[in-house]
Amino acid sequence: MRLDINLATRPYEDAREFWARWGLGVGLLAILTLFLIGLAVNDWAKAGRDRHEIARLQHQIAERDSERAQAQAFLDMAANRSTRDQSQFVNGLIQRKSFSWTRVFEDLEKVMPANLHVVSLRPELNEQNQMELEMKVVADTRAAAVDLVHQMEGSRHFQGAQLLQEAPCSENGACVTAAVVAIYIPDAPDRSDK
């Protein structure tokens, strides 16, 4: 019995070697795919819990807004307006009275450059009921005023420091007068406290 095998037209393929090489790769990819699917399902479940928590918090916010609207409507009644205005006035006085000049100067001393002097300082409550400090300062150079703003930005007691305006204080330009505004937060912990 004679077998004619033409290896030139039909090359020999070793299926066992093919599956040994590629089967391991396919298996690793399958395991990686299962792992990634597991992560995706886990993250989807966490996102569902987060969505539920967000919905609960939004419901609480809506309840608080409703309570606030009812309280505001009650205060806006003609019989209650005088009491509301009186309480707002007294609360404003208490807030102004609680302003500590000593504490402000202690906090300013920490951020004040050596060649800069405060000429005037005016605290005032803004629309958000935050204490806003307006300062007029005199410095040898503009760089000292800019340095003050940078130092205030680095402090926890001052936020949103801005150099509003600047002008030479004499004709020869020997000094600079600048206006600086910042929100003052007296109860903020110092960075050294941590």
Domain containing 77: what range?
A: 15-98
* Beta-ladder partners of 165: 179
89 within domain boundaries:
yes
Three-state secondary-structure class, residue 150: helix
Residues near 84 by Cβ (< 8 Å), separated by ≥ 6?
75, 76
42 within domain boundaries:
yes
Does one domain contain both 60 and 87? yes
Does one domain contain both 124 and 53? no
Three-state secondary-structure class, residue 67: helix
**78: which 2 tokens?**
């003609």
* Beta-ladder partners of 183: 132, 159
Burial class of residue 145, CB neighbours in 10 A (0-12, 13-18, 19+):
buried
Q: CA 182 from chain center: how many Å?
A: 17
Does one domain contain both 91 and 109? no
Three-state secondary-structure class, residue 13: coil
- Check residue 190 and give its pLDDT: 55
Residues of the chain with pLDDT under 50: 192-194
Burial class of residue 139, CB neighbours in 10 A (0-12, 13-18, 19+):
buried
- Check residue 194 and give its pLDDT: 42
4 within domain boundaries:
no
- Check residue 193 and give its pLDDT: 45
**174: which 2 tokens?**
């020997």
- Check residue 173 and give its pLDDT: 62
How many separate domains does the chain show? 2
